[in-house]
Amino acid sequence: MSEKNGSSGGKPDIAALRAEIKQTRAELGETVQALAAKADVKARAKESVEQTKAKVLAQAAEATGKVTGAVKGAAHAATERVRGANGRPGEPAEDGARVRRSPVGLAVVLVGVVAAVGVILIVRGRRR
């Protein structure tokens, strides 16, 4: 506390006391709010769940992207193999073997596998 020695006979300055009280109340209010936030277990648990959920969704999206990229690469490689040395599907390759006419069936199967993996990752993430 600050005191002002002057013509008032050593009594504390009322304005200074009020300002100090106001400052102390503000600091006390901040402290109470901080303690209340730490004590609110439900809110902290909810925040933790939201953070974990966001992390799992990000990991699932990343895994789906990797699988999709791998499937696209495999489909491209399969298409190139189907085209063979002469570059045209459905015509005999150089060794006389017949090449499949349409690589679309393989692509459809690969897309189905990617979709199944994505669904499994999402469902698995929700169980945790």
In which domain, by residue range, is 13 found?
1-39
6: left (phi over 0), alpha (psi -120 to 50) or beta: beta
Same-domain status, 2 and 62: no
Structure tokens that stand for 1 in this block: 């506390």
On whether both 62 and 10 belong to a single domain, the answer is no
Does residue 82 share a domain with residue 24? no
List the chain pLDDT tens, one digit each, 128 residues. 444 444 455 677 898 999 999 999 999 999 999 888 888 888 888 888 889 888 888 888 888 888 888 888 887 777 777 666 555 555 555 555 555 556 677 778 888 888 888 888 887 777 65
Say whether both 100 and 120 belong to one domain.
Answer: yes
Could you give the number of structural domains in the chain?
Answer: 2
Query: 98 and 117 in one domain?
Result: yes
Same domain, 64 and 104: yes
55 and 29 belong to one structural domain: no
Q: What tokens appear for 33 in the block?
A: 């709010």
